[in-house]
Amino acid sequence: MGLRSLLLSISIALVGNFSISQLCQPSRIITAVNGQLPGPTIYAREGDTVVVHLLNTSPYNMTIHWHGVLQRGTPWADGPVMVTQCPVRPGCNYTYRFNVDGQEGTLWWHAHISFHRATVYGALVIKPRGGAKAYPFPKPDKEHVVILGEWWNASVYDMERMAFLTGIPAPHADAYTINGKPGDFYNCSAANQTDVFDVRQNKTYLLRIINAGMNTPLFFKVANHQFTVVGADACYTKPYKTDVVVVSPGQTVDALMVANAAVRRYYMAASPYDSAIPRGPPFSDTTATAVVQYVGVQHTTARPVLPRRPAVNDTAIAHRFFSSMTALLLPGKPTVPLAVDTHMFVTVGLGVSDCRQEQLLCNRTAPPVFSSSINNASFVLPKDTSMLEAHFNNAAAGIYTRDFPDTPPVIFDYTGDESDNATMQYTTKSTKVKTLRYNTTVEMVLQNTRLIAKESHPMHIHGFNFFILAQDFGNYDKNTAARKFNLVDPQERNTVAVPTGGWAVIRFVADNPGMWYMHCHFDAHITLGLAMVFEVLDGPTPETSVPPPPADLPRC
């Protein structure tokens, strides 16, 4: 494989002395990559090999996940701590090597340990081999990376530790950000805390929109402008026109925007979509802004035009966006498999569990603490050996068990009031995997529950893209849902926002040997246990088997 990347190899330093001041707060130290927030954008072309040297000079254990990269033949480079690797300890290093065969579009990278993803993240842009002229849509005049995030004034590491020790969820973010900056509508706003995008009238811009936020789906708008969505999660879509883009944590959207408004300044805005009904966790009801500024605009003290913000609970807008995209069918690209080998029905949601022994500040005399689960199995990462190492060495005993259930243990009205029943809410901790033969086709129904609250959970699967056949509200009914399946041009993604109090059906082929994490991309829910792992067995050849680990793989 030729090394043809625009930025093939990049040295990453996770520095612990990057000082930043936002929201009237004194300067504080955050962990960031190369002293930047967001970190550097990595550019590659389809088919390239990417080499990234992680040098951990921070005081914390660290890993990097390459979100949406399929990692075919390179499972050791996927990055989730204790799933595919032990952490890179302070003062140590690890080199991630992977290729991006068959992938084009916008992906991203982020820390996959503790809550460090709040400040350790950046974009991964994969261009076609032929460059921008090879896009299957009109070539834009320019491209902009737009990374949406969340900001806490407190130390996110300390916050995660306290949430674990007490069993009390961490507080909501203090602000939302666009390219690391909160914008004009927060206290102590200044020019250097608002990002500015310069545009020329009647030119077309490709916006590569990423939700790197920890826990909040976001509405994204630009005043007086429309979008044409042409991609999602590095998969091309048929052109879809809209004035609002909705992105859940983990998701990316590629959208064309024509600068066809009057020559002046306009706000780009990101505001929360609160999907939880009736009593979800608290969230910041604020708006992050950046400025779209037309070249030639005269100096003015007038504020930019602000778009009308959707209501925070406008599930209709979110569902219309998420369910309206279809795949752009291109020669040589995967199509939805029609025969299914393994059917799974999995419930996802919040619940409660007993305090764990390690939760030293947990009130053991009070009612159970918040937890979360998939099919009533609340996931716990192993401590001493990564799951991929245990798999490769055929040493799963004591690390994980192969008994993840294909169906929930109790059938009930998943989205009805009866799920308030305390018995339904209770879950226990475990490290269970679902073992799949190589090349198995899996169809999975993801059913949200009303345990504690109805909520739109963004479910992400490492190592695979999947087809979203259908999605809707209420309890899944096989007979009526099957008539809604799109088996011709369903959208292909790596992260699906399962509708609030509803369900989604996904289908994928398990043709990538290894241990692949599936989890909610709300980081607060990952730590509560809303995760599981697919163990995909080796195929018949060396090329379809997990290779030996690299020599510099971190040790626990």
Does residue 110 surpass a pLDDT of 70?
Answer: yes
Tell me the pLDDT tens digit for each residue of 48-60.
Answer: 999 999 999 999 9
Of 134, 94, 122, 124, the residue nearest 7 (C-alpha): 124
Mean pLDDT, range 538-543, rounded to an integer = 96
Q: Is 99 helix (H, G, I), strand (E, B) or coil?
A: strand
Q: Is the pLDDT of residue 278 over 80?
A: no
Residue 5, pLDDT score? 39
What is the DSSP pairing of strand 433-436 with strand 531-536? parallel
- Show Cβ contacts of residue 158 under 8 Å, excluding neighbours closer than 6 positions: none
% of the chain residues with pLDDT over 90: 77
Task: Please tell me the predicted confidence (pLDDT) of residue 356.
Answer: 85
- The per-residue pLDDT of the chain, averaged, comes to 92
353 pLDDT band (50/70/90 cuts)?
confident
Contact by Cβ (8 Å): 488, 454: no
pLDDT bracket for residue 350 (50, 70, 90)? confident
pLDDT > 70: percent of the chain: 94
pLDDT of residue 424: 64
Quote the pTM value: 0.95
State the Cα–Cα distance between residues 428 and 523, nearest whole angstrom: 19
Question: How confident is the model over 359-379, as pLDDT tens digits?
Answer: 888 877 776 888 889 999 999
At residue 6 the predicted structure's pLDDT band, cuts being 50, 70 and 90, is very low
Distance, in Å, from the CA atom of 253 to the CA atom of 236, rounded to the nearest integer, reads: 10
- Inform me whether the pLDDT recorded for 9 exceeds 70: no
With left for phi above 0 and alpha for psi between -120 and 50, is residue 167 left, alpha or beta?
left
In this prediction, residue 13 carries a pLDDT of 53
pLDDT band, very low/low/confident/very high, at 1 (cuts 50, 70, 90): very low
Residue that is written with structure tokens 């993604």 in the block: 493
Which residues on neighbouring strands pair with residue 447, listed in sequence order?
Answer: 347, 503
Does residue 361 or residue 124 have the better pLDDT?
124
Sign of the Cα pseudo-torsion (349, 350, 353, 358, in order): positive
| pLDDT attached to residue 24 | 85
Q: What is the pLDDT of residue 15?
A: 46
160 contact partners, CB below 8 Å, separation of at least 6: 114, 115, 170, 527
Average pLDDT over residues 117-141: 95
Higher pLDDT, 257 or 190: 257
397-445: pLDDT as tens digits: 999 999 999 999 988 888 887 555 555 678 899 999 999 999 999 999 9
Q: pLDDT at position 205, please?
A: 98
Mean pLDDT for 225-250 is: 98
pLDDT of 402: 98
Residue 305 in tokens: 């035009």
CA-to-CA distance for 426 and 371, rounded, in angstroms? 8
Query: Cα–Cα distance between 259 and 200 in angstroms, integer?
Result: 7
- C-alpha pair distances (Å), 311 with each of 275, 285, 552: 11, 10, 49
Least confident interval from 66-80, 268-282, 516-530: 268-282
400's CB contacts (< 8 A; 6+ apart) are 382, 387, 390, 431, 432, 433, 533, 535
Residue 358 pLDDT class (50, 70, 90 cuts): confident
142 contacts: CB under 8 Å, gap ≥ 6: 199, 203, 205, 206
Could you tell me which residue, 171 or 260, shows the higher pLDDT?
A: 260
Tokens (6 digits) for 169: 């969820």
Strand 531-536 versus strand 514-520 pairing type = antiparallel
Domains of the chain, CATH where assigned: 1-134 (2.60.40.420), 136-325 (2.60.40.420), 342-544 (2.60.40.420)
